[in-house]
């Protein structure tokens, strides 16, 4: 596999994405968790439990800030090219569609991971938690894994749905990753959020083996299994996105 194509696309997209609007969005993504944590510390008379802050930071950084960035950067993988009238040029190049999917995926996760790591580096010390270094590396690791998995899923949605891909992606995130992932039932094991939460509770010592409902919510699988599932999930979804894009058949502006 020739890696120069995706790297070239990623380099071009990264340079093009350094605009005032995207930089402001990046600052909002990184600053949103910090602002909320600071407000909690300011309004609360006493320090909330470490477990509460751990789950709140996980939700704000991994499942809100990073996902919102990926929603804006990974989902328009096809629609942005068609709207910019560059789609025909992309598909006319050897491995052009594959390079475009992988290159844009790389750019999306770089933006999301950098914002997530920055938010973690500021919000964790601001939270006053008793083990800041442990929580910092756990959240940073989950930021990377979550960005890979969610970015692959949103790239696939963008490849499958030409119009209103953003709407479909929001519905998926709200109902599948938002609601189903926190339902204590077997179906939540199909979500990315379930695997990430399982890793968080294991590494931060939040798991309680004597509570069946918590076992269903957090999971009992080991970290190695959850990490393998997430990486396999990312690879499979990216392959499906590439396969769909290579099939073509999208309506271009001239055909509407």
pLDDT per position as a tens digit, 23-80: 898 999 999 999 988 888 777 767 778 888 898 999 999 999 999 999 988 898 888 8
Note down the domain range covering 23. Answer: 4-247
**Nearby residues of 143 by Cβ (< 8 Å), 6 or more positions away:** 61, 62, 66, 112, 113, 116, 117, 120
Closest CA to 29 of 113, 100, 102: 113
* Whole-number pLDDT of residue 100: 86
pLDDT band at 82 (very low <50, low <70, confident <90, very high): confident
Residue 254 covered by a domain? no
Task: Give the lowest-confidence range in 143-157, 173-187, 224-238.
Answer: 173-187
* Whole-number pLDDT of residue 154: 95
Per the CB < 8 A criterion, the answer to whether 172 and 158 are in contact is: no
Domain count along the chain: 1
Within 10 angstroms of residue 67's Cβ, the number of other Cβ atoms is 27
pLDDT band at 81 (very low <50, low <70, confident <90, very high): confident
* Whole-number pLDDT of residue 96: 75
Instruction: Map tokens 């991994």 to a residue.
Output: 62
Average pLDDT along the chain: 84
Residue 255 covered by a domain? no
94: DSSP letter: T
Residue 211 covered by a domain? yes
Euclidean distance between CA atoms 218 and 21, whole angstroms: 37
Residue 218 covered by a domain? yes
* Whole-number pLDDT of residue 211: 54
pTM of the model: 0.90
What is the three-class DSSP state of 215?
Answer: helix
Task: Give the lowest-confidence range in 115-124, 166-175, 200-209, 236-245.
Answer: 200-209
Residue 155 covered by a domain? yes
Residue range 184-201: mean pLDDT, rounded: 84
Euclidean distance between CA atoms 244 and 156, whole angstroms: 8
Residue 252 covered by a domain? no
Residue 256 covered by a domain? no
Residue-by-residue DSSP string for 103-145: HHHHHHHHHHHHHHHHHHHHHHHHHT-S-HHHHHHHHHHHHHH
Query: Looking at the predicted structure, is the pLDDT value of residue 135 above 90?
Result: yes
Residue 42 covered by a domain? yes
Q: What angle do CA 12, 17, 23 make, to 5 degrees?
A: 150
């Amino acid at each position: 596999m020739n890696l120069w194509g995706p790297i070239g696309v990623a380099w071009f997209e990264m340079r093009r994405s350094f605009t005032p609007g995207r930089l402001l969005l990046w600052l909002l993504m990184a600053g949103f968790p910090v602002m909320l944590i600071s407000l909690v510390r300011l309004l609360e008379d006493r320090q909330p439990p470490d477990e509460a802050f751990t789950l709140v930071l996980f939700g704000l950084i991994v499942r809100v800030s990073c996902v919102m960035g990926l929603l804006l950067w990974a989902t328009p993988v096809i629609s942005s090219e068609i709207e910019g009238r560059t789609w025909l040029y992309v598909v006319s190049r050897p491995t052009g569609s594959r390079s475009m999917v992988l290159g844009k995926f790389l750019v999306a996760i770089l933006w999301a991971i950098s914002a997530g790591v920055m938010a973690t580096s500021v919000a964790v010390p601001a939270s006053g938690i008793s083990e800041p270094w442990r929580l910092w590396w756990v959240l940073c690791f989950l930021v990377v894994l979550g960005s890979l998995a969610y970015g692959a899923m949103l790239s696939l949605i963008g490849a499958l749905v030409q119009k209103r891909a953003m709407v479909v992606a929001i519905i998926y995130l709200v109902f599948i990753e938002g609601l189903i992932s926190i339902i204590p039932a077997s179906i939540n094991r199909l979500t990315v959020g379930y695997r990430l939460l399982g890793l968080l509770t294991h590494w931060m010592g939040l798991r309680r083996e004597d509570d069946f409902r918590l076992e269903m919510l957090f999971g009992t699988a080991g970290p190695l299994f959850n990490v393998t599932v997430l990486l396999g999930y990312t690879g499979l979804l990216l392959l499906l996105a590439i396969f769909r894009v290579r099939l073509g058949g999208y309506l271009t502006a001239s055909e509407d």
